[in-house]
Structure 1
Amino acid sequence: MADNSTLVGAVSSLQRIVFQVLIVQILISVFLCINVLQITAFFKRELFRKTMRYILFANTLLSDSLFLILTNIALILSAFHVAMEIWLCLIIYIGLSLCTVITPITLIAMTLERFVAICMPLRHGELCTTRNSLHCILIIHSISSIPLTVFLSIFFASASSIVYTQHFSCTVESFILHSWQRHLRSAMNQLYFLIMCVIIVFCYVKIMKVAKVASGENRTSTQKGLQTVALHAFQLMLCLISLWIPFIEAALLQIDFMLFVNVRYFNYIVFILAPRCLSPLIYGLRDEKFFLTVKYNVCFGLQKKQSSFSFV
């Protein structure tokens, strides 16, 4: 009887895991399709490829798309307890760590671009050139790689040769060999996000001051810029909350395992996936030029498909 109960419990647990994984597959598939459409729109129009805010937006789309793919792989491997060698886990971890930081730093760069456009309009054309956009992306990736470089340097210096031959579940905890590494990682992330929060509050206050004295079309443009900055702040808030997730989950694990599993899944959807899916909605669908280009590409593709069927 006990064996039957255990078997039924195992089947029920497996069904729940499969259902949760399928929900994530649907969400990720939808947003990857949206991202691909918007990336295609960016490369099809020369205007987008020469405008700083669109270049930065494309950088965010590429980073978020890679993040969605890698985090989905990590979720599936973790859900079904697939063990792997450290080098494969290292590739996934490097990609996830970089994308985790690249997106919020790019959001800050986009906020600064809106600040320059609204508060320093005469210098916008001089500062926000295509060349400076590429330099900005290089700086974003360099800054994003600092925490990862520090963390991996400590790991390689501390890890014994046995670690490189073992198979284990691929999680960030696999690279933490000392408790102080966890504190160092948390401190660096929180320092980054503190600086980001200060920058975004500064930009919001400055743009709000300009909005109060603006009039006509300038007022409309300024208000839209203000809304964009506020939405970026909301994204950063979600990213900031995600930093506290490991601490919350560790406490829940000590209380109740099923509660830990359910909260972990909720956190993954709301605080890890959601911020990555907001960028296409904030910029891609709110920006009229970009939205019309995406709409044209989708409609033209459907018309072309229908015409090919009618020809057949």
Structure 2
Amino acid sequence: MQGISLANITTGLSLAERIVSATLTTLICLILLFLNGIMLFTLRNKFMFRETSRYILLYNLLLGDTLQLLISQLLYCLTSFRITLTYPACGVLVLLGNLFSRISPLVLVAMSLERYVAVCHPLRHASIMTRGNTVRAMRGMWIVCFKIVLIQNLLILMFPFEQLDSLQMTQPCRYIALFLLPFSEIYHNTYSGLVFFFAGLAIISSYVGIVIAARSAATDKVSVRKAKSTLLLHLVQLSLSLLSVIYSNILTILSPLLNWVAFNQMQIFLFVCFFLLPRSLSSLVYGLRDQSLRIALLYLLFCRFKGPVKAVVS
């Protein structure tokens, strides 16, 4: 999953430095979890959001990102304090982390196709992007991702664990530590490459389709502009997801170029940029760009939460 992203991130640091880095990243994680939690609550609290396809897709994207945020920070803290797990416990964490990270590219593709249909086929949008169709599509994506990740973990079970003296791991829990057989890594890299290639192709194709549709005089220019911005955002999100996958390769390139202190600082910085911040990008952007969501969020923050406080004070 993270490769050496979490393997050597704090190996050369003192206890005080490790405590500071873990505290800093945890504080950032808690802030981002709060933002995502507010957004998730808002999407589930309003009937309109629960019945509209684009908000259903956004909810699933945020749910996967939020849970992945939790798993990433948990693994980071375990590594910071050099806490090792057993292979079964690590396998469960890795399975969940992979499941939540794998769902994001698929949901981004679905959201891009939804915008394409809304702009290029507005008369058919209501019949295609129904609540039932969206829920079934999302359920299918979660099931497919779970099966893919389950196969990855079943490949790990092919390793002869009975030959080990103990199931206790000797290194921090991370996905690369479970590459006990060469075929596991091949499977992981092949699947990741195919998913990101076809996801990128689908988003770019949707963008091109919208650009072509924009030439039509009957097309709503405002909707086209918003849809193009949204698809570019999805492409950025997909790129950030890809960077988190190849994070270990980036560190391998940087390691001979930096001294040990600078390298550790760079690892922490990239962990925040590639794993933490991208998981709240949807909350930040949609919370600001989407008028309906923005109004609901402002009401939730300044009216609903503030009301009880005023009542208590009075």
Report the alpha carbon displacement of residue 257 of structure 1 after superposing the two structures with TM: 4.6
Report the alpha carbon displacement of residue 287 of structure 1 after superposing the two structures with TM: 0.7
Does the 8 Å CA contact 1:228/1:282 hold for their aligned counterparts?
Answer: no
Does residue 278 (structure 1) correspond to residue 281 (structure 2)? The answer is yes
Report the alpha carbon displacement of residue 251 of structure 1 after superposing the two structures with TM: 4.6
What do you get for the CA RMSD once the two structures are aligned? 2.2
**In the alignment, what sits opposite 2:222?**
220
Report the alpha carbon displacement of residue 241 of structure 1 after superposing the two structures with TM: 2.2
Does the 8 Å CA contact 1:193/1:240 hold for their aligned counterparts?
Answer: yes
**In the alignment, what sits opposite 2:15?**
14
Report the alpha carbon displacement of residue 174 of structure 1 after superposing the two structures with TM: 2.3
More helix by share: 1
**In the alignment, what sits opposite 1:249?**
251
Change (3 A) 1:167 1:178: closer
Q: List alignment gaps of at least 5 residues for structure 2.
A: 1-10
Q: TM-score, normalised by structure 1?
A: 0.89
Change (3 A) 1:214 1:159: farther
2:214 aligned residue (195, 208, 211):
211
Distance 2:95 2:243 in 1: 21
Distance 1:160 1:223 in 2: 56
Query: Identity across aligned pairs (percent)?
Result: 25
Between Structure 1 and Structure 2, whose CA radius of gyration is higher? 1
**In the alignment, what sits opposite 1:299?**
302
**In the alignment, what sits opposite 2:239?**
237
Report the alpha carbon displacement of residue 270 of structure 1 after superposing the two structures with TM: 1.5
Classify the secondary structure of the residue corresponding to 2:14: helix
Change (3 A) 1:241 1:303: closer
Partner AA of 1:31 in structure 2 = L
**In the alignment, what sits opposite 1:172?**
175
- The answer to which of 131-140 and 274-283 deviates more is 274-283
Distance 1:224 1:165 in 2: 53
Classify the secondary structure of the residue corresponding to 1:213: coil
Does the 8 Å CA contact 1:186/1:243 hold for their aligned counterparts?
Answer: no
Structure 1 residues 135-150: aligned runs within 5 Å: 135-150=136-151
Classify the secondary structure of the residue corresponding to 1:83: coil
Does the 8 Å CA contact 2:105/2:195 hold for their aligned counterparts?
Answer: no
| Aligned residue pairs, count | 301
**In the alignment, what sits opposite 2:266?**
263
- The answer to which of 93-102 and 82-91 deviates more is 82-91
Distance 2:306 2:277 in 1: 32
Partner AA of 1:85 in structure 2 = T
Partner AA of 1:183 in structure 2 = I
Change (3 A) 1:284 1:196: same
- The answer to which of 158-167 and 84-93 deviates more is 158-167
Does the 8 Å CA contact 2:84/2:168 hold for their aligned counterparts?
Answer: no
**In the alignment, what sits opposite 2:46?**
45
Change (3 A) 1:223 1:215: farther
**In the alignment, what sits opposite 1:5?**
none
**In the alignment, what sits opposite 2:58?**
57
- The answer to which of 45-54 and 180-189 deviates more is 180-189
Report the alpha carbon displacement of residue 302 of structure 1 after superposing the two structures with TM: 3.8
Report the alpha carbon displacement of residue 249 of structure 1 after superposing the two structures with TM: 2.4
Distance 1:13 1:214 in 2: 65
Partner AA of 1:181 in structure 2 = S
Distance 2:47 2:90 in 1: 38
Distance 2:132 2:224 in 1: 26
Report the alpha carbon displacement of residue 267 of structure 1 after superposing the two structures with TM: 2.2
Q: Whose RCO is larger (CA < 8 A, sep 6+)?
A: 2
Change (3 A) 1:215 1:25: farther
Report the alpha carbon displacement of residue 89 of structure 1 after superposing the two structures with TM: 1.5
**In the alignment, what sits opposite 1:67?**
68
Partner AA of 1:195 in structure 2 = F
**In the alignment, what sits opposite 2:188?**
185
Change (3 A) 1:309 1:120: same
Distance 2:256 2:306 in 1: 57
Change (3 A) 1:302 1:28: same
Partner AA of 1:273 in structure 2 = L
- The answer to which of 224-233 and 265-274 deviates more is 265-274
Distance 2:253 2:222 in 1: 47
Partner AA of 2:214 in structure 1 = A
Distance 1:145 1:104 in 2: 14
- The answer to which of 19-28 and 129-138 deviates more is 19-28
**In the alignment, what sits opposite 2:27?**
26
Classify the secondary structure of the residue corresponding to 1:212: coil
Report the alpha carbon displacement of residue 184 of structure 1 after superposing the two structures with TM: 2.9
